[in-house]
Structure 1
Amino acid sequence: MRIRHATSALVATSAALLLFGAAAVPSVAQPQAPAAVPSAVHGLTPLTDLFAERLLIADKVAAAKYGSGRPIDDPAREQKILDDVAARALALGLAPDAAVAVFRDQMEANKLVQRGLYTRWDEHPDERPAQRPDLDKEVRPALDRITTQILTTLVATQDVRNSPSCELRLYGAAARSAYDHKLDVLHLKGLERALPSACTGP
């Protein structure tokens, strides 16, 4: 698919933007307020901004779980979230299967980042997080907020996501979001994994 080639280019292009135009990224990335975006990609940038913000929360999820014995994969909780997404999507006039596919991508992207952080922390103990966020009180409410925002943004972007130009515009929006949120290489790979189901058109 064209999106596979576009998102592969996203990693290289956004990494170059970060190298030459942004400050150094800390070992655990922090959400950044997005800057104004060009009108050519504005239609999907709110969506890719949310994808990027959700990815950055993966750092806190990983910090909460690392060394605790809690697994990265949690199939029962994931299915509960997807079932809730399907019901809410139907109420919003979205195709439930399409919405579930988008959120499944977000979950896989989040786990990709978590696994990458685990590997980094195993190899570099000095980079391990000093504090463990409260997964239930701090992290999951933030994820729940973004779930609601993604759903409403999926509604708002239906026309763009159904258009033949969606993949090209999605790539441009994702590259801008990656730059604005100062994503490092690991999070760029996560953003690539988050994109495949966003476009629903031909």
Structure 2
Amino acid sequence: MQSDSNALFARGTRLRRVATGLTATALGLICAGAQASPAAQTSGYDANAGLSSSAPSSATHTLAPAAPHGVRGLAVRLVSQTLATTPRNAADAPHPPKPPAVVDPVLDPLMRGILERLAISEAVARTKYSSGKPVQDTPREQALLDSMGDRAAQYGLTPAQARTFFRLQIEAGKLVQTALLARWKREGGAPGEPVDLATRLRPALDRLGASLMHDLGRLCALPDGPLRMARIHQARERIAKAAKLEALQRAAFDEATSGLCLSAPPRIWTLSVRR
């Protein structure tokens, strides 16, 4: 009984050695088969570059007719399967993520600055709702327009261009404030906490004004014509879509961007409020 077990053990050991040898031979042929086999040499495959432009449309069909039998045939078939699963052109490769939308280096900063000013106008409305101050502040508006007109030349603008631009910013801001105050009056309260107008909001508006003048000067330095108008329209639509503006915000944004580089506003919004 013991001799039978020893014989079976010895036979199993020999079989494992043979299997190991065959496996090593197959792996060696996979690595060297491209040089030893004429079919592999004519397949047009490069380990670093993939299939060359002169390779046949199916690597499996190229290698199969010349593939020998036995272990070497197994190695060639394995190479063929590898080639068959390799992407052969750009259409087979995974698609890269879509590039981000094209950003206009001149218009986008200006459009975003205008949106930022409108956002501050919402904070101003919240403060005025709490304090009871009116939307209209004629002395403040006139002081802003005079200041921007005096500084216009520093940014390559005419005084009329600067005044028109900020007149429209003021009107757009008042459009937002008037509509929000009416809404909050109907609802009986405003969301959020008020922010001090004199110490925080107006200084923020003043700092933003210089940035807007700089960006507007860059835009107005471009040649006037259909191309500039097209860029303005494209940037306006792209920024508005990205910001997901509500109806009130979009109306104010359109108003604020309607007179870029003009010497007189094209129109003035009027808003009637139901009492």
Amino acid at match of 1:108: E
Residue equivalent to 1:150: 212
Provide the C-alpha distance between the structure 1 equivalents of 2:108 and 2:225, rounded to a whole number of angstroms.
15
Residue equivalent to 1:167: 229
Q: Which of 115, 128, 133 is the equivalent residue of 1:65?
A: 128
Residue equivalent to 1:31: none
Provide the C-alpha distance between the structure 2 equivalents of 1:166 and 1:200, rounded to a whole number of angstroms.
13
Residue equivalent to 1:192: 254
**1:106 equivalenced with 2:169 (yes/no):** yes
Larger Rg: 2
Post-superposition CA distance 1:127-165 (Å, at most 9, x none):
x13421100111111111110100111122223373332
Distance of aligned partners of 1:161 and 1:149 in 2 relative to their CA distance in 1, 3 Å threshold? farther
Instruction: Say if 2:164 and 2:262, in contact at 8 Å, map to a contact too.
Output: no
TM-score (norm 2): 0.55
Provide the C-alpha distance between the structure 2 equivalents of 1:167 and 1:119, rounded to a whole number of angstroms.
35
Provide the C-alpha distance between the structure 2 equivalents of 1:185 and 1:161, rounded to a whole number of angstroms.
32
Amino acid at match of 1:158: C
TM-score (norm 1): 0.74
**1:120 equivalenced with 2:120 (yes/no):** no
Q: Which has the higher contact order (CA 8 A, sep 6+)?
A: 1
Amino acid at match of 1:38: V
Q: Which of 109, 122, 132 is the equivalent residue of 1:46?
A: 109
Amino acid at match of 1:94: L
Instruction: Say if 1:162 and 1:200, in contact at 8 Å, map to a contact too.
Output: no
Provide the C-alpha distance between the structure 1 equivalents of 2:254 and 2:233, rounded to a whole number of angstroms.
9
Amino acid at match of 2:222: V
1:200 is displaced (CA, Å) by 4.0
Amino acid at match of 1:96: P
Structure 2: segments with no counterpart, 5+ residues? 1-99, 264-275
Provide the C-alpha distance between the structure 2 equivalents of 1:85 and 1:122, rounded to a whole number of angstroms.
34
Provide the C-alpha distance between the structure 2 equivalents of 1:66 and 1:161, rounded to a whole number of angstroms.
44
Distance of aligned partners of 1:114 and 1:125 in 2 relative to their CA distance in 1, 3 Å threshold? same
Provide the C-alpha distance between the structure 1 equivalents of 2:117 and 2:143, rounded to a whole number of angstroms.
18
**1:178 equivalenced with 2:240 (yes/no):** yes
SS across alignment from 1:160: coil
CA-based RMSD of the aligned residues comes to: 2.0
Select between 142-151 and 155-164 the one with higher mean Cα deviation: 155-164
Amino acid at match of 2:240: A
Amino acid at match of 1:74: D
Post-superposition CA distance 1:38-92 (Å, at most 9, x none):
14x4431211111111111111000111142211011111000111001111233
Instruction: Say if 1:47 and 1:154, in contact at 8 Å, map to a contact too.
Output: yes
Instruction: Say if 2:127 and 2:194, in contact at 8 Å, map to a contact too.
Output: yes
Distance of aligned partners of 1:118 and 1:144 in 2 relative to their CA distance in 1, 3 Å threshold? same
Distance of aligned partners of 1:197 and 1:68 in 2 relative to their CA distance in 1, 3 Å threshold? same
SS across alignment from 2:251: helix
1:133-148 alignment, distance < 5 Å = 133-148=195-210
Residue equivalent to 1:19: none
Residue equivalent to 1:24: none
Instruction: Say if 2:152 and 2:213, in contact at 8 Å, map to a contact too.
Output: yes
1:93 is displaced (CA, Å) by 2.8
Structure 1: segments with no counterpart, 5+ residues? 1-35
Distance of aligned partners of 1:200 and 1:116 in 2 relative to their CA distance in 1, 3 Å threshold? same
